[in-house]
Chain A
Amino acid sequence: MELYELGLAGALSLIKEKKASAREVLDSVFTRIRNVDGRVKAYVSLTEELAYKMAENAAGPIAGLPVAIKDNMCTKGVRTTCSSKILENFTPPYESTVTERLFKAGCSLPGKTNLDEFAMGSSTENSAFFTTKNPWDLERIPGGSSGGSAAAVAAGECLAALGSDTGGSIRQPASLCGVVGLKPTYGRVSRYGLVAFASSLDQIGPITKTVEDAAIIMNIISGHDPLDSTSAPIPVPDFTAVLGKDIKGLKVGIPKEYFVEGMDKEVEKSVRDAIAHLENLGAVPVEVGLPHTPYAVADYYILATSEASSNLARFDGVKYGFRAEGKDLMEMYMETKARGFGAEVKRRIMLGTYALSSGYYEAYYGKGQKVRTLIKRDFEEAFKKVDVIATPTSPTPAFKIGEKTADPLQMYLSDIFTISINLAGIPAISIPCGFTSGGLPIGLQIIGKHFDEETILKAAHAYEQSTNWHTMRPAL
Chain B
Amino acid sequence: MSIDIKEVTHIAKLARLSLTGAELELYSTQLSGILGYVEKLKELDTGGIEPTSHVLDLKNVMREDRVRPSLPEDEVLANAPDRKDGFYRVPRIIE
A binds B: yes
Binding site for B on A (CB under 8 A): 89-91, 93-94, 186-187, 199-200, 226, 229-230, 232, 292, 294-295, 297-299, 301-302, 309, 313, 316-323, 326-335, 337-338, 341, 346-347, 349-351, 353-354, 357, 364, 366-374, 376, 408-409, 412, 424-425, 450
Interface centre among B18, B44, B63 (most CB of A within 10 A): B18
With a CB–CB cut-off of 8 A, which chain A residues contact B71? 93-94
With a CB–CB cut-off of 8 A, which chain A residues contact B52? 369-370, 372-373, 376
Task: Name A's interface SS.
Answer: helix
Binding site for A on B (CB under 8 A): 3, 7-8, 11-12, 14-19, 23, 27, 30-31, 33-35, 37-38, 40-44, 46, 49-56, 58, 61, 63, 71-72, 75-76, 78-82, 88, 90-93
The answer to whether A328 touches B92 (Cβ under 8 A) is yes
CA distance A161 to B27 in the complex (A): 35
Supply 25 A–B pairs (Cβ within 8 Å), ascending by A: A93-B72, A229-B58, A230-B58, A292-B44, A298-B38, A299-B41, A313-B16, A318-B81, A320-B80, A321-B79, A321-B81, A322-B81, A328-B93, A329-B90, A331-B18, A332-B90, A337-B18, A350-B12, A351-B31, A351-B34, A354-B35, A369-B51, A370-B46, A371-B44, A409-B34
CA distance A321 to B7 in the complex (A): 29
> Nearest Cβ in chain A — how far from B72, in angstroms?
8
With a CB–CB cut-off of 8 A, which chain B residues contact A200? 53-55
Option from B8, B53, B72, B88 in Cβ contact (under 8 Å) with A319: B88
> Nearest Cβ in chain B — how far from A100, in angstroms?
14
CA distance A131 to B17 in the complex (A): 25
With a CB–CB cut-off of 8 A, which chain A residues contact B58? 187, 229-230, 232
Option from B11, B46, B51 in Cβ contact (under 8 Å) with A357: B11
**Leading 6 A-B pairs by shortest Cβ distance:** A425-B55, A369-B51, A323-B81, A320-B79, A334-B18, A370-B46
> Nearest Cβ in chain A — how far from B75, in angstroms?
4
The answer to whether B34 touches A424 (Cβ under 8 A) is no
CA distance A349 to B11 in the complex (A): 9
Known contacts A90-B79, A329-B92, A373-B51; A367 and B41 CB within 8 A of each other? yes
In the complex formed, the residue of B with least CB distance to A226 is B63
With a CB–CB cut-off of 8 A, which chain B residues contact A376? 52, 55
In the complex formed, the residue of A with least CB distance to B64 is A226
Known contacts A318-B88, A350-B8; A93 and B49 CB within 8 A of each other? no
Known contacts A346-B17, A409-B34; A232 and B56 CB within 8 A of each other? yes
With a CB–CB cut-off of 8 A, which chain B residues contact A327? 91
With a CB–CB cut-off of 8 A, which chain B residues contact A370? 46, 49-52
The answer to whether A367 touches B88 (Cβ under 8 A) is no
With a CB–CB cut-off of 8 A, which chain A residues contact B11? 350, 353-354, 357
The answer to whether B18 touches A335 (Cβ under 8 A) is yes
The answer to whether A337 touches B56 (Cβ under 8 A) is no
Known contacts A229-B61, A333-B16; A374 and B79 CB within 8 A of each other? no
With a CB–CB cut-off of 8 A, which chain A residues contact B53? 200, 369
Option from B17, B18, B54, B76 in Cβ contact (under 8 Å) with A93: B76
With a CB–CB cut-off of 8 A, which chain A residues contact B42? 367
The answer to whether B46 touches A318 (Cβ under 8 A) is no
With a CB–CB cut-off of 8 A, which chain A residues contact B46? 367, 370-371, 373-374
> Nearest Cβ in chain B — how far from A366, in angstroms?
7
With a CB–CB cut-off of 8 A, which chain B residues contact A94? 71
The answer to whether A350 touches B27 (Cβ under 8 A) is yes
> Nearest Cβ in chain B — how far from A328, in angstroms?
5
With a CB–CB cut-off of 8 A, which chain B residues contact A323? 81-82
In the complex formed, the residue of A with least CB distance to B82 is A323
